[in-house]
Every structure is written in C-alpha cells, then in structure tokens.
Amino acid sequence: MEMTEEQRLRLKLVSGLLDYPYYPEFWERIRDRMSVAEELDDRLQNVFHVLEDYRVIDLEQLYVDSFDFDAHQSLYLTVHEMGDSRDRGNALIELSELYRQAGYEVPDNLLADYLPLLLEFVALHPDFCPPALHERIARVAGKIAGHLDSSHPYRVLFTVITEILGQVDGIKSSNMEEHPDLHDLPYPLDYQ
C-alpha cells in the first residue's frame, strides 16, 4: 500500500498519542510532533488538547484502565489475533525480524506487537510493511474502537488508523480465551 506523506505523519502522531503517557518525555515528544501537524487533522489536535487537560495521575489511570485490563482493548496486536497461545511467540519473532530487516531499533522494554511501536514503524518504513500487516493493524484498531465508548478520548485515534490503513470489512472476532496445549500433557485425557 502506497501511503502519502500526510498519512505517514498522521500515523506518527497517532503512535505518539497512543503511547503510555510517560512524564515529562511523553509531552515533550507529543508537543514536538503536534507542532508540525497543525493542518493535518483537527481530530488529532482535539485528542491532544483533551489529553493535555488531564492531571498526570488521571491520564495515567485512564490509559491503564483503557488498555491494560481488557484483552479486547489491548494495545498488543497479537493478543487480539492469538490470545495467549504459543503462536503469539512466533508472531512476535516474525515482527522482530521485520524490524531488524529495516534496521529499526525496538526498545528493550517493548514487545514487537505494541501498536504505537508498529504504527511508528509503518510510518517510518512503509516499504518494509506488507499489506497484510496494514490489514492486521486496521482490523485490530477497528475492534478496539468498537469496544471503547464513543466519548472516550482515545477512540478517534483508532478510527484514524482504520481510515489510513484501510477499513477492513468483515472483521473476524478473535477468540480471546486461553486454550491449554493439551497435547503436551504426559498422559492422554479421554472423557467418555
């Protein structure tokens, strides 16, 4: 998928706004990004101003409550796709390899499927991103938006993601339940 410079900038802004609000680094980085984005998207400016009005502790609490306790709103791509299965590890390795091929450094404290990290990667290295990755991100963004209340300050960010990376029709509902790997048990289970 060919992205315009404007779309790439908007993704980078969304990436910054979706990142955990580390203080003061968060606001320094966001203010720098927003200063070059005055004309790009009023919705992103509005999110910025709404978040800026929160007290530090309240914004951190909103973020944690929104994204850390409900798998349907998780900011980790593979959680939506694979839940807590073994396949998630392989998917993380594949994403890490994609970053490595592009020469992109993943911070040690982040998993490769963290949405803000993926969005920044897509914005900075679009030539390394297969269309399937865009579709995966758009599908997950659509799912998260569907689970957030329409007045939630972060909801519009997921709408912007789906607009840029392509609205995905027929969003599949992923199975968020954990399934044990029964074939690894030391004895067969046979229920009659």
Stated pTM of the model: 0.81
How would DSSP label each residue in 100-168? HHHTPPPPTTS-TTBHHHHHHHHHH-GGG--HHHHHHHHHHHHHHHHHS-TT-TTHHHHHHHHHHH-PP
Q: What's the rounded mean pLDDT across residues 106-121?
A: 93
- pLDDT tens digit string along 136-149? 999 999 999 999 99
DSSP code of 38? T
The pair of three-digit structure tokens given for residue 99, joined into one six-digit string: 């970053």
Orientation of helix 115-124 relative to helix 87-102, angle to 10°: 30
Domain boundaries along the sequence of the chain: 5-168
Cβ neighbours of residue 41 closer than 8 Å, sequence gap 6 or more:
10, 13, 160
Distance separating alpha carbons of residues 33 and 53, to the nearest angstrom: 18
The pLDDT of residue 167 is: 52
Fold that domain 5-168 belongs to in CATH: TorD-like (1.10.3480)
The pLDDT of residue 161 is: 96
Given a cut of 50, whether residue 172 has pLDDT beyond it is: no
The pLDDT of residue 61 is: 96
